[in-house]
């Protein structure tokens, strides 16, 4: 079916994709255009694609016509496939001589268990290759007009997960140290335990009036952004029905959105915006 043959990628020394190799690829935060060219190259050669819940299905349309697709995601903390089973499946497919593409949301090595899969594959003697992706905690915030660093605001940023392996708020995190040492804190998987996380940061001494942004479905047409404050984040998130997947950003970089909200200025994704100074005067922009 030559009509279905996609146009070639620009001429480049693209890496080989030999049978029996597992290629871990970051699909980016959602907008298919944010996957790398190298990821697209791999996708076009793969025999089988094993993907997570957060991978935009539209990306899968770019696979070759006879490639098979397997879903290996987890939803809402309820594992629909155990991590060990996913790794074993990848090993099995590679040993069957397939070109296996493991497609993961964002960047495979950022809170994505890509490290665990890579370890299991290497230990099983399966060759791997890795293509990084744009992580939601950077690219997702960029779509909301929030730079994770800005010279006037922060010389450091900390990325935190809101769950540990047990699904609880990570007990290994030193909230006091975080609150004191990190001017900007970006939290993945924060929605389930938002009250507890914001509570920990307040107890640890963060100012309740500090701006917070919650960006859900970042980079997708249904993206929504809530600007609030640390003290009001949980209540406002509930009032505005903010749902996972969402990135929570705490810090003064959030205020830069008042100027840099490029997507809102282009008339893009609907945006809800509360006054970040917490004057109690919510305004909605759409």
Footprint on this chain of ligand SAH (rule: CB under 6 A): 29-30, 54, 104-107, 110-112, 135-136, 140, 188-189, 215-220, 244-247
Using CB positions, name the residue nearest to ligand SAH.
106
Catalytic, out of 35, 189, 191, 242: 189
Q: Residue holding tokens 């997570």?
A: 52
Rank residues 38 and 219 by Cβ distance to ligand SAH and give the closer one: 219
Is there a catalytic annotation at residue 74?
yes
Identify the residue whose tokens are 């008042």.
258
Least distance (Å) between residue 96 CB and ligand SAH: 27
3-state secondary structure of 99: coil
Measured from the CB atom, the residue of 98 and 272 that comes closer to ligand SAH is 272
Neighbours of 244 (CB within 10 A): 17
Decide if 13 is catalytic.
no
4 to each of 9, 45, 64, 168, how far by Cα in Å? Answer: 15, 15, 9, 47
Active site residue 189: yes
CB of 144 to ligand SAH, least distance (A): 9
Nearer to ligand SAH, 211 or 245 (CB): 245
Catalytic residue among 31, 35, 47, 52: 52
**Do the beta carbons of residue 64 and residue 42 sit within 8 Å?**
no
Cβ–Cβ under 8 Å, residues 100 and 94: yes
**Least distance from ligand SAH to the Cβ atom of residue 82, Å:** 17
The CB-of-271 to ligand SAH minimum distance in angstroms stands at 14
Residues 6 or more apart whose Cβ sits within 8 Å of residue 241: none
Least Å distance, CB 277 to ligand SAH, is 24
Closest-CA residue to 163 (of 112, 222, 125): 112
Residue 28: CB minimum distance to ligand SAH, A: 8
User: Looking at beta carbons only, is 56 or 154 nearer to ligand SAH?
Assistant: 56
Give kind and range of the element (H or E) at residue 60.
helix 57-60
Question: Could you please report the per-residue DSSP string of 114-164?
Answer: HHHHHHHHHHTT--EEEE----IIIIIHHHTT--S-BTTTBS--EEEES--
Evaluate whether 214 touches 272 at the Cβ level (below 8 Å).
no
Strands (E), the chain: 22-26, 48-51, 68-71, 74-75, 78-79, 100-104, 128-131, 158-161, 185-188, 211-216, 224-229, 246-250, 271-273, 283-285
Nearer Cβ to ligand SAH, position 47 or 52?
Answer: 52
Choice between 17 and 111, CB closer to ligand SAH: 111
Catalytic residues: 52, 74, 189
């Amino acid at each position: 079916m030559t009509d279905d043959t996609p146009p070639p990628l620009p001429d480049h020394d693209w890496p080989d994709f030999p049978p029996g190799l597992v290629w871990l690829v970051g699909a980016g935060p959602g907008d298919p255009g944010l996957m790398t060219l190298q990821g697209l190259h791999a996708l076009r050669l793969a025999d089988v694609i094993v993907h997570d819940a957060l991978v935009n299905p539209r990306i899968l349309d770019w696979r070759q016509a006879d490639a098979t697709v397997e879903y290996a995601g987890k939803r809402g903390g309820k594992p629909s496939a155990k991590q060990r089973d996913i790794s074993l499946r990848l090993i099995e497919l590679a040993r069957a001589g397939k070109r296996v593409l493991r497609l993961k949301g964002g960047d495979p090595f950022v809170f994505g268990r890509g490290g665990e899969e890579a370890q299991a594959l290497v230990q099983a003697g399966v060759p791997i290759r890795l293509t990084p992706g744009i992580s939601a905690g950077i690219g997702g915030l960029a779509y909301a007009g929030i730079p994770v660093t800005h010279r006037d605001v922060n010389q450091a940023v900390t990325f935190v997960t809101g769950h540990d392996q047990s699904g609880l708020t990570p007990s290994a995190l030193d909230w006091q140290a975080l609150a004191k040492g990190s001017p900007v804190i970006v939290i993945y998987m924060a929605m389930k335990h938002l009250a507890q996380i914001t509570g920990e940061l307040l107890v640890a001494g963060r100012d309740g009036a500090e701006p917070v942004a919650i960006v859900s479905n970042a980079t997708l047409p249904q993206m929504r952004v809530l600007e609030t404050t640390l003290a009001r984040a949980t209540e406002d998130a509930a009032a505005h029905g903010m749902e996972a997947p969402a990135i929570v950003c705490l810090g003064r970089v959030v205020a830069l959105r008042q100027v840099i909200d490029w997507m809102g200025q282009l008339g893009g994704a609907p945006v809800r915006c509360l006054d970040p100074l917490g004057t109690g005067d919510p305004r909605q922009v759409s």
